[in-house]
Structures are given as C-alpha cells and as structure tokens.
C-alpha cells in the first residue's frame, strides 16, 4: 500500500489511512517493497496484521506519520542491515510515531525499527518486541527516542552507529550529498544551490515544530525547537561543507573538532537520543557504540549528548513475573514492572495499548 499524501513544504497533512488489513507474503521479487509505504505528511498505517515476508513491513519517508497498533510477525527473513519499520537518510523526517505494536519473530540480525543515516525526530514507544536480535538502531540522527518499550527474548534492546567511528578526518560523512540536500530543501536557505529552502518554508517548519499545536497519538506535543540551531559544518569564508582538507582539530575556519564533532547542533553529532524505561525479559542490554579521537584524547558515545541512554531498565524473570499478558499485551497492577515503574506507568501503558 502506498499512502502518499500531504505537502512537505507546507506540512499540510495527507490523512490517508490503511487500517484493519491483513497483508502477507509480499516483497517476494524485490526489496524495499513494503506492505505500507508512508510518503508525504500525516499518513497512518494502523491495526494491521503484517506477516510472512522476506523484507521490511513499513517504510516511512516524510513527516508526522503513524505506524501504530499493528502486529508484525515473521518478517525481514531474508535480508540484513534492515528493520521491520525502516526510515533513513533525512534529518527532516520529523514527528513520526511507531507505537503500540507487537513485533514478533524478526529474522536474522535485523531490528524492529531501523533509523538509517541521519534519520531524526522519530518516536518509538509502548511497543512489544519479541524474538529478535535487536530492538532499535540509531544511526547518526538527532532527537530520536525509544522509551517505554518491552523487549522479550531480544539479544539487545538497541544499538547505534556514529559518523565519529570512521575517524576524525572522515569528511565528507557517508551519503553527505543526499543528507545535505534533503536538509537544505526544508531547513536551510542556500542561495545559488540546487536544493534550498525558501525563508517562508523554514519559518513554516520552525512554527510547526515549536507551537505545540500538533500532537502524537497520546497527546504529547510534537515539538523540536532544536531544529532552529541545527547546521551542516561549513567553511566560514566559502560556506562550502567541510572536507578532510579543510579540517583540523583546532581550526578557526569553521571546520574544527568543536564545530564538526562536538556541538550538539552539528548535524554530525547524534544528540538528544533516548532509550529509557525498558522492560527486558530474557534478553540483553543496549549495546552502545563509541569512538575515540586523539591529540587531545576524547571519547564519544550517545551518552555525551543525552542522560537517557539505556536508563531505567527493569528485568523481570519471566512474563508472569513481569505481570504481562501475552494475549492482550497489558500489565497487571502487581508484579515486577508495577513495582519498578509504578501504578501510573502501568495504567498508562494499559490504556494506550488497548485503544481501539
């Protein structure tokens, strides 16, 4: 199903919906042919049963999308470096929500939610991931969160990759032309360049993602005020993106370690990432990536820019100990999860996952 609608320049919603479908045995002849392809702004894929396919189930290419209340079963069976839900290579895919889903039996070394090169502004919450190698993958994006999820027999709740890991002088970054041009199209005015936002487009986006009028399904405002400060590291004099030839640790031309790699507002620094309040039953922890630069020595990881990476984890011995009903995906008010996170957390979980 192609749910393509809305206008990304104005962020006008398409409001196309795919609901209460069973979709099976797709992607047999080609990869990147998902059950649900969400393109544009404000389209929804919900309450679907998607199963038995070799590749991804949902691909998100736009803003303010929802992939909620689905049952994903026995997917990504014949692929690697992939997720059941996939998005990537765009810092401007903001406001997307993946919530209240049951991800069950994910093939190979794949993830429930795969956020590829620079994907930013994703919210993954109140999901159950069961029988998988990994829950989420953060790759060099900004402001992505994976909070309030349950991982059952999952080798690791998530993992990450940073541009820093390729080395201090690894400029331009991977797929730089793609991620720069897509960023420029909506969030940076670049006179004379092929891809450039207008001042009106930038103002529209800043207002949309700061005014608090737009919300996720649980009523949480979709706000990203930090986008006003994001930048592509550039040579000050020419405004050309920094390359290895321009770079020095202590450079004064705009291409220093401080401006390229350290600042939370540089597009190359994976800032404001969260994976918090996780229930882990019979699986492993978050596998954090790291990188080290020398002269002077400096170490990088997501925790440099966030205090909620692999935090607030409860480890019940079993589903019964957790108080989790595998049929309804609701928690009892007694058990290890209620004891650790409190009655209010359990009541909120049960209300949200059972919303029709």
Q: 320: exposed, middle or buried (C-beta count within 10 Å: 0-12, 13-18, 19+)?
A: middle
3-state secondary structure 271-316: CCCEEEEEEEECCCCCECCCEEECCCCEEECHHHCCCCEEEEEECC
Nearest to 348, CA basis, from 328, 327, 326, 333: 333
Backbone φ, ψ for residue 163 (5° rounding): -55, -30
Rounded to whole angstroms, the maximal C-alpha distance in the chain is 63
Q: Whole-angstrom Cα distance, residue 50 to residue 52?
A: 7
Q: Please, which pLDDT band fits residue 319 given cuts at 50, 70 and 90?
A: very high
Whether 57 and 50 have beta carbons less than 8 Å apart is answered as yes
Q: Provide the token pair at 102.
A: 């049951």
Reduced 3-state DSSP string for 69-122: CCEEEEECCCCCCCEEEEECCCCCCCCEEEECCEEEEECCCCEEEEECCCCCCE
Stated as kind and residue range, the H or E segment containing 46 is strand 44-46
Residues 297, 168 contacting (CB under 8 angstroms): no
Q: How far apart are CA 86 and CA 113, in angstroms?
A: 6
Q: What is the pLDDT of residue 92?
A: 98
Q: What is the pLDDT of residue 84?
A: 98
> What pLDDT was estimated at residue 354?
87
Residue pLDDT, tens place only, 115-160: 999 999 999 999 999 999 999 999 999 999 999 999 999 999 999 9
- The three-class DSSP label of residue 15 is coil
Would the pLDDT of 306 be above 80? yes
- Distance (Å) of CA 286 to CA 192, 303, 310, 325, 332: 44, 12, 6, 24, 26
- 3-state percent breakdown (helix, strand, coil) of the chain, nearest 5: 15, 35, 50
The average pLDDT across 221-225 equals: 98
Kindly report, residue by residue over 71-107, the tens digit of the pLDDT: 999 999 998 899 999 999 999 999 999 999 999 999 9
Q: Are 209 and 94 in contact (CB under 8 A)?
A: yes
């Amino acid at each position: 199903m192609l749910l393509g609608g809305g206008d990304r320049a104005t962020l006008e919603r398409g409001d196309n919906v795919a609901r209460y479908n069973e979709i099976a045995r797709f992607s047999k002849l080609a990869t990147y042919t998902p059950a649900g392809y969400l393109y544009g702004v404000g389209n929804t894929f919900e309450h679907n049963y998607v199963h038995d396919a070799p590749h991804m189930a949902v691909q998100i290419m736009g803003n303010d999308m929802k992939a909620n209340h689905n049952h994903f079963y026995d997917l990504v069976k014949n692929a690697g470096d992939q997720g059941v839900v996939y998005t990537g290579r765009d810092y401007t895919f903001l406001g997307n929500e993946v919530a209240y889903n049951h991800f069950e039996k994910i093939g190979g070394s794949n993830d429930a939610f795969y956020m590829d090169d620079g994907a930013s502004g994703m919210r993954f919450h109140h999901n159950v991931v069961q029988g998988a190698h990994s829950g989420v993958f953060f790759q060099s994006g900004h402001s992505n969160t994976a909070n309030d999820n349950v991982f059952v027999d999952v080798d690791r709740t998530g993992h990450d990759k940073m541009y820093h890991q390729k080395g201090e002088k690894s400029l331009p970054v991977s797929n730089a032309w793609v991620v720069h041009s897509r960023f420029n199209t909506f969030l940076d005015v670049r006179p004379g360049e092929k891809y450039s936002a207008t001042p009106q487009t930038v103002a529209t986006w800043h207002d949309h993602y700061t005014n608090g009028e737009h919300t996720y399904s649980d009523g949480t405002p979709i706000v990203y005020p930090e986008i006003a400060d994001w930048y592509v590291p550039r040579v000050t004099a020419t405004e050309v993106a920094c390359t290895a030839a321009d770079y020095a640790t202590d450079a004064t031309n705009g291409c220093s370690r401080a401006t390229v790699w350290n600042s939370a507002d540089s597009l190359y620094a994976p800032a404001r990432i969260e994976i918090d309040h996780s229930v882990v039953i019979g699986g492993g922890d978050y596998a954090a990536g790291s990188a080290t630069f020398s002269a002077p020595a400096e170490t990088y990881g997501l925790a440099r820019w966030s205090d909620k990476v692999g935090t607030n984890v409860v480890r019940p011995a079993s589903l019964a100990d957790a108080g989790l009903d595998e049929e309804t995906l609701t928690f009892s008010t007694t058990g290890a999860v209620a004891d650790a996170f409190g009655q209010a957390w359990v009541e909120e979980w049960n209300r949200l996952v059972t919303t029709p």
